[in-house]
Structure formats: structure tokens, C-alpha cells
Amino acid sequence: MKIVAADDELIALEVLVDAIKEAEPTAEVVAFRTGREVLDYLSENSCDVCFFDIEMRDMNGIELAYEAKKYNPKINIIFVTGYSEYSQNAFEVRASGYVLKPATAVKIAEEIRNLRNPVEEGKNTYDFYVRTFGNFDVYAKGEPIIFKRSRSKELLAYLIDRKGAGATKKEIALILFPNQEYERRVEDYINKIYREMTRSLDEAGFGDIVVKKRNYYAIDPEKIRCDRYDFEKGKASAIKAYMGEYMQQYPWASFKVIR
């Protein structure tokens, strides 16, 4: 879950962020002191929940909520304020919740449990998401990416499995075609499935996740969200999702869990 917190008072913002982190330890929390900073961030990034102070110097929190919903109508807005008279305004902007200061983990947790638009873990409607537990599948803004050749999809799976480590064409051939001798014909086929893989990613708007250098291919793990990567970071939702199966359509795939 990704959460934005905004309050122009530094101490109040620190209290709010601490309360959010205590209530939702696995969440990614981004904090701002102005409404303009929030909108600049939302113009390029996804977010599940926003906690806004109502009385900020540069922009009223109600106005900020209306502007934030232009980027994502389903975003959950929760107001955090010392004034109860704003509850009607919060209702009109269809806010998810309303917290009176001081913010506490108990209050924050209650609002997160009762979001107007529940957050669907594992499906980020903005970003590039990879599912490796069970079958391997790839999603762009919540929609599955279609690969014209199954080998192109398998190539991407192998690069994601390597988590950013490079692989040469010969190494790829040994994985995808273990019973064939590496020769010019196989190399040409690797080139072809690579081009088709990148074409599918480009069409989905995520061609930049691939890194190509003279002697190897790789992916940039910082530009994707992946259940395996989340698992290895200790995220509860990914740990719960793992049922012992990993990229099960590919015989070369294995995932060792160290507890």
C-alpha cells in the first residue's frame, strides 16, 4: 500500500507519519508539507490513500482533495484536522474518512480498515506489476500484457527471476533451449524473441524496464513491482500470497525460501 501524508506543520506531519507507520508497517509512506508538492507527486505516481491536513498555508485540504481525485477518482482521501466543523465538506468531496488531531495509530488503523475504496493488494492500477507466485503473468496499469510469442514472455520471466543481473544470449539459450546447441540459428531466434518482448512492453508503455548492453540483457528491478521482490522485502501481503508455487509453467524456475 502506498500512502501520502500532507501537513504544513512539521511536528504534526511527523506525528502523522509515525502513526501511519505504526498502524500499517508494510506501507510505503511519502510525506509533503505543501499541496503543490502533493499534486506534483500524484501527477507521476500512484497512491492508494492520502491523509491531508485541511488547513494548510498554500492550499486548503478540501481543494487539494478535489485536485487529487482528478488523477485518480478512486483514491482514498482521509482528512486529519483539529477542527470538527469540516465534516460536511469532507462528505461532499466523498472522503474516505475523517480523523481529529492528534493522529494516533489506533485512529489511523480504524480508517484504513474501513476505506471507501478498498486497496487490492498485488494489483497496482498505475504501475508495472509482475506475478510470479503460481503462474507467471505481467500487468500494466492493471491490465495483462499480451505477448505474441510464449518465448518472449518466458524471456521476460527469466530476466525478472535474475532480479537485475545480466544474462548473455548464450546463457538465455541454455535456459530456454537446453537441448539445442548454441549456434547462429539459435542466436537469431533469441534476437527475434527479444525484439518481440520489447515491442510488447513498449506498447504497454513500459519499455524502459529493459536494460540492454553490448553483451547482455537485464531488467531494472527498481521500475517494477513483483510479488517475489515484495516477499523478499518481508511484505505481509506477498508472504501470505506465496503457496509454494513459483512460475510453475517454466521447468527452469525455482525459488528457495529462507526463513
At 122 the pLDDT is 47
At 106 the pLDDT is 92
Show the CA angle centred on residue 210, arms to residues 207 and 214, nearest 5°. Answer: 125
157's grid cell: 520471466
Q: Which residue type, as a one-letter code, is found at position 199?
A: R
At 125 the pLDDT is 42
Spatial neighbors of 185 by CB under 8 A, at least 6 apart, are none
Q: Which residue type, as a one-letter code, is found at position 173?
A: A
Contacts of range 190-199, beta carbons closer than 8 Å, 24 or more positions apart:
190/155, 193/149, 193/151, 193/152, 193/155, 194/152, 194/155, 196/147, 196/148, 196/149, 196/152, 197/147, 197/152, 197/153, 197/155, 197/156
Q: Show the 3-state SS of 231-249.
A: HHCCCHHHHHHCCCCECCC
At 14 the pLDDT is 94
What's the CATH class of domain 128-241?
Answer: mainly alpha
- DSSP assigned state of 133: B
Q: Cell 474518512 sits at which residue? A: 97
97's grid cell: 474518512
Spatial neighbors of 118 by CB under 8 A, at least 6 apart, are none
Parallel/antiparallel/unpaired status of strands 128-131 and 210-212:
unpaired
Give, for all 259 residues of the chain, the pLDDT tens digit: 899 999 999 999 999 999 999 998 888 899 999 999 999 988 878 889 999 998 888 888 889 999 998 888 889 999 998 866 655 665 667 788 888 899 999 999 999 988 888 776 544 444 788 989 989 999 887 788 999 999 999 999 999 999 999 999 999 999 999 999 999 999 999 999 999 999 999 999 999 999 988 778 999 998 888 989 988 988 776 776 788 899 999 999 999 876 5
Phi, then psi, of 121 in degrees rounded to 5: -60, 140
Could you tell me where the beta strands, DSSP code E, fall in 143-206? 143-144
Alpha carbon distance 4, 33 (integer Å): 11
Question: Quick check: do 2-113 and 128-241 share a fold?
Answer: no
Q: Cell 547462429 sits at which residue? A: 184
Q: Cell 503462474 sits at which residue? A: 135
At 153 the pLDDT is 96
Q: Does the domain made of 2-113 have the CATH classification 3.40.50.150?
A: no
At 35 the pLDDT is 94
Alpha carbon distance 142, 122 (integer Å): 10
Q: Report the Cα–Cα distance between both ends of the chain, in Å, rounded.
A: 24
- Say if residue 102 is preceded by a cis peptide, omega within 30 of 0: yes
Q: Which residue type, as a one-letter code, is found at position 120?
A: E
Q: Domain boundaries in the chain?
A: 2-113, 128-241
